[in-house]
Every structure is written in C-alpha cells, then in structure tokens.
Amino acid sequence: MWETFVMTKISPSQHSIINDARITTFGRLIEVVARLDSTFGSKLDEPEAFPKTWFEIMLRLARSENQQLKMSELAEQVALTTGGITRLIDRMTTAGLAERLADPSDRRVQYAHITQLGVDQLLKVCPIHAADLQREVYDRLSASEVKVLDAILDKLR
Amino acid sequence: MWETFVMTKISPSQHSIINDARITTFGRLIEVVARLDSTFGSKLDEPEAFPKTWFEIMLRLARSENQQLKMSELAEQVALTTGGITRLIDRMTTAGLAERLADPSDRRVQYAHITQLGVDQLLKVCPIHAADLQREVYDRLSASEVKVLDAILDKLR
DNA sequence: CAAGATTGAGTGATCAATCTTC
DNA sequence: GAAGATTGATCACTCAATCTTG
C-alpha cells in the first residue's frame, strides 16, 4: 500500500541506535519499579493510610539509632532535597507521626524522630507491605534470582 | 549511661517486623533505581537538554508503529495519568519535539507523534545515554547478572 | 565563610469533573 | 452511558535565596 502522508522515517542504522539493548533493559527496570511502587501506594487504603514516601521515612527512622536521623541525612537517604524533607517532616509532624528534636551539641542541626504513634502505625503496615511484596515480587522469583538481585543492588549502590 | 529522656522503644519482636528482609531489599531496589535515574537526568546538560521523561516518551514513540501512540496508550506505558500526558505532550509540542495527529476512524482519539526534530534530538542523545549506562551500570555487572536481571524484569512485568 | 535547615517561587504530577465522540 | 482526552484545583517536589549557628 502506498503512503498517503509522509511520516517521520527512521533508517536501519538509526534503528539500531534507538533500539540499544542497554537502554531498553534500563527502561524496563525503571518501568517495572515504578509500576510496582505505585501498586503498593494504592494498596495501603486502610483508614489510617499514608503515602509510600511516609512509609519509607518512618522505616528509616525506626531502624536508626534512637529512632532519629538528621534532616540532611534523611534527605540524602531518600533522595530528596533538604527543602523537600523540611516540608515532608512538617506534614508528618502535623499527622503526629514524626517530630523534630534539637541537637544540644550543634544548634544548627535538627533531628527527625519517629513518634510512638508513628511506630505503632509502622508496625501495623509492615506485615501488609511484606505480604504484598511476597505476592507481587518474591513468589514470582526463584531464590537464586533474589540472591543475584541483591548482589546487583550491592554493586550499583 | 542512663537515659535522660524517654525515647521511642522498639522491642526485639517488633524489631524483626521492621527489619523484614523482603522490605529491605525492595527498598534498596527503589533507592538504587531512583538514584541512577536522577543521575542521568542531570547528565543531559547539553544545549538542547530535555528532561528524562521526555526522553522516555520520544523513545517509545520512535519505536512504535508510524512513530506514534494513542495518548492513553502512552500514559499507560510511562505510568502517568491521561491528564499528565495531555500537558506533557503540550510542552513537547511547544518545544517542537512532538505533535498531535487525529485518528480519522475515531475522532475521540489523538495520537502523539514524534517530529523530525524529535527524532534528530533522540538520535543525538541515545549514544550519550548508552555510554552513561555502560559506565554506571553495565561495567559494574557481569554478563550473567545482566541476563538474570532481564529474566527478573520479565517475570515482574 | 561553611554547614544545616528553612522559605519563596515555579514546575510537573494527581484527582475529579467536564467535553466530545462512539 | 462509556471511552478518550482535556481542564481546574491542588499537592509535593526542585532550585535558589535566606537565616542561623559553627
């Protein structure tokens, strides 16, 4: 069939550039992770639901020494700017899940600290999230694949 | 040393809930991908630089039949809402990288189509991105690890 | 002057409501 | 009425500038 309109054409040599396997695989990685992530975000539709970002914050605080982290450390860990963290902790503070603690030895720093309510909520949500992960991720992978995945993450850290 | 203030406490049994290995690994996955992704975003600081979202869009359009996709298909593929895609294509149209094409057989649908300028830009950026990926990702992994990664992505699709 | 946190302005997303076409 | 795309309102982020403390 002849073409009625002239469309954008891509030559064979250009085709190989656009279809680079490395770009394809990485793109799939981004896509799969984004899709899984958003799946779990909407999965937490409990009465006391909170965004997945909050979950990540609370988890890191709960796992840290004294259940607290410097604002700047927290920002670095969750790949946000310090400005972003400032207002995120503001919101979590309003929700009663986090609070700020001053550092007596350096009055420039503020610690983000998870509250008792935050710990309670976290303990309630963790098993749900773990079950979701089991079903959506781990049940679909072999033990050796999980092992390799872990190794890959170590190398890319 | 005795404690001056009462801090949030986490018991050993609660500790095991919070430190679930499945949650940890998945969290690391999110983190590593987010970090890599933002690294490459700032890497494209060429004169005609564009955000990584645009790159992803252009790549998908260029690889598709007739270099076009329905707005809704595109939204689904890049995990955005249709509203988000509408304005994203608006911006790319303003930049001359994409355009809208009507569907003669169904006047409800609009196709997002990559322009010749878009293809040119994409062809310029792909080798740069591939080289970045090679250095930041593939040089750090063995061939078998990449193979397993691909298999994992297939299963999680 | 540097480090740490916050604030103001601007951007790009979501969600829900709307408009058009099937 | 349902499907597809757009629009309005809002939200959470970034970037750059600012304030405070070291």
Considering all nucleic acid strands, name the nucleotide whose C1' atom is nearest to the C-alpha of residue B42.
D14
Q: Token pair for residue A132?
A: 């979701």
Are A140 and B149 inside 8 Å of each other by CB? no
d(CA B73, CA B66): 14
**Given CB atoms, is B19 within the 8 Å cutoff of chain A?**
yes
Residue entry with tokens 């007739």: B66
Q: Which residues pair with B99 in a beta bridge?
A: B113
A103 touches strand D (CB under 7 A): no
- Residues B45-81 have pLDDT tens digits of 455 678 999 999 999 999 999 999 999 999 999 999 9
- Residues A70-111 have pLDDT tens digits of 999 999 999 999 999 999 999 999 999 999 999 999 999 999
> What is the phi-psi region of residue A71: left when phi exceeds 0, alpha when psi lies from -120 to 50, beta otherwise?
alpha
The per-residue pLDDT for B127 is 95
Residue pairs spanning A and B at CB distance below 8 A: 159
Are A149 and B116 inside 8 Å of each other by CB? no
CB-based contact B99:B117 (threshold 8 Å): no
Considering all nucleic acid strands, name the nucleotide whose C1' atom is nearest to the C-alpha of residue B107.
C21
d(CA B103, CA A143): 48
The per-residue pLDDT for B40 is 78
Q: Token pair for residue A35?
A: 């899709």
**Given CB atoms, is A73 within the 8 Å cutoff of chain B?**
no
Q: In this structure, how many other beta carbons lie within 10 angstroms of the beta carbon of residue A24?
A: 14
Q: What is the 3-state secondary structure (H, E, C) of B108-150?
A: CCEEEEECHHHHHHHHHHHHHHHHHHHHHCHHHCCHHHHHHHH
Q: Which residues of A touch B30 (CB under 8 A)?
A: 33, 37, 56
How far is B140 from chain A, CA to nearest CA, in Å?
Answer: 6
The per-residue pLDDT for A120 is 96
- Please report, rounded to whole angstroms, the spatial distance between the CA atom of protein residue B21 and the C1' atom of nucleotide C2: 39
- Identity of residue B92: M
Strand segments, DSSP code E, in chain B are: 68-70, 98-102, 110-114
Of A29, A116, A145, Cβ closest to residue B8? A116
Comparing A65 with B157, the larger pLDDT belongs to A65
d(CA A91, CA B30): 22
Comparing A21 with A35, the larger pLDDT belongs to A21
CB-based contact A128:A44 (threshold 8 Å): yes
**Range of weakest confidence among A17-21, A29-33, A137-141, B7-11:** B7-11
Q: In what order do the strands lie in the sheet with A98-102?
A: A68-70, A110-114, A98-102
Q: In what order do the strands lie in the sheet with B68-70?
A: B68-70, B110-114, B98-102
Considering all nucleic acid strands, name the nucleotide whose C1' atom is nearest to the C-alpha of residue A82.
C5
B86 touches strand C (CB under 7 A): no
Strand C bases near protein CB (under 7 Å) are 3-8, 12-17, 20-22
CB-based contact B48:B121 (threshold 8 Å): yes
Instruction: Report phi then psi at B117, rounded to 5.
Output: -60, -40
Are A10 and B67 inside 8 Å of each other by CB? yes
The per-residue pLDDT for A155 is 96
Local confidence band at B91 (pLDDT 50, 70, 90 cut-offs): very high
**Given CB atoms, is B115 within the 8 Å cutoff of chain A?**
yes
* Amino acid whose CA is nearest the C1' of D7: B83
**Given CB atoms, is A127 within the 8 Å cutoff of chain B?**
yes
